[in-house]
Amino acid sequence: VLDPLRVKEQAVIPKVSQTHLDARRQQILDAAVECFSRDGLHPTTMQDIVKQSGLSAGALYTYFKSKDEMIEAIAAGRHERERELITSSRKSGDAADGVQVLVRSFSRILVDPAERKGRRLSIQLWAEALRNPQILRTVRKGVDVPRGMLTEMVEAGIQRGTLTADVDPDAIARVLIALFQGFALQIALAPSTPLEPSIRVVEKMFAALAAARGDKE
């Protein structure tokens, strides 16, 4: 009765288009992001996501094997998003002084209301990464890949002479990331945090660092 070939044959012409499938998957992820960023990873129940998505419990499990897999998918999405942000920052920063442009770009992201959910989600994922090896791997990649890109940008800055040569590009990248993470946290915990003065301090520090090179010469 069960003919695996027939099943496969049927699978050739899917009843539901891939586009539909992708849309459904995204619909679920959007609902999950909404819930997770609002209530946290663990307090959010699958029922919450069911309600938020307008789908059924069964539907969620058609697209994701488990809640953990859903969290993992969202973590991967964050990772992807962060890479994008760096990439777009790099583009706009190609012409001028890399770090200054980068810092400006970061500050825009940090105050962007559209990124609020993402900031809250990231903090939830940091906490989750401490106990979930799979999430840890993804979160780390989400930090390491941007860091690699930043390192390259800093190296380019050094070659262009906008930064001193005697600094470790990777160390600078880490400093930039730490600043970004720290301010993302401060803003998530206190949305009224004044970011601009601190950004100016950071700019000034990097400018001073660049200038310091000239002094030595």
**C-alpha–C-alpha distance, residues 100 and 36, integer Å:** 33
**What distance in Å separates the CA atoms of residue 77 and residue 18, rounded to the nearest whole number?**
19
3-class DSSP assignment, residue 140: helix
Among 76, 123, 145, 149, which residue sits at the site for a second copy (rule: CB under 8 A)?
Answer: 123
Chosen from DNA, a second copy, none, partner binding at 68 (C-beta under 5 to 8 Å by type): DNA
Q: 180 vs 74, 112, 124, 217, CA distance in Å?
A: 20, 13, 16, 32
Cβ neighbours around 213 below 10 Å, total: 16
Closer CB to DNA, 16 or 95, in the complex: 16
Comparison of 17 and 131: residue with beta carbon closer to a second copy: 131
Phi (first) and psi of residue 186, to 5 degrees:
-60, -40
Size of the site for DNA (CB under 7 A): 27
Contact pattern from residue 65 through residue 94 relative to DNA, giving x for each residue in contact according to CB under 7 A and a dash for the rest = xxxx--------------------------
- Mention every residue, 6+ apart, whose C-beta is less than 8 A from residue 183: 110, 193, 195, 198
**67 interface partner picked from DNA, a second copy, none, CB below 5 to 8 A per type:** DNA
- DSSP, residue by residue, 83-106: HHHHHHHHHHHSSS-HHHHHHHHH
List interacting residues with a second copy (CB under 8 A): 8, 38-43, 54, 120, 123-124, 126-131, 136, 139-140, 143, 167-168, 170-172, 174-175, 177-183, 185-186, 188-190, 193-194, 197-198, 200-202, 204-209, 211-212, 215
List interacting residues with DNA (CB under 7 A): 4-5, 7, 11, 14-16, 20-21, 24, 43-47, 55-59, 61-63, 65-68
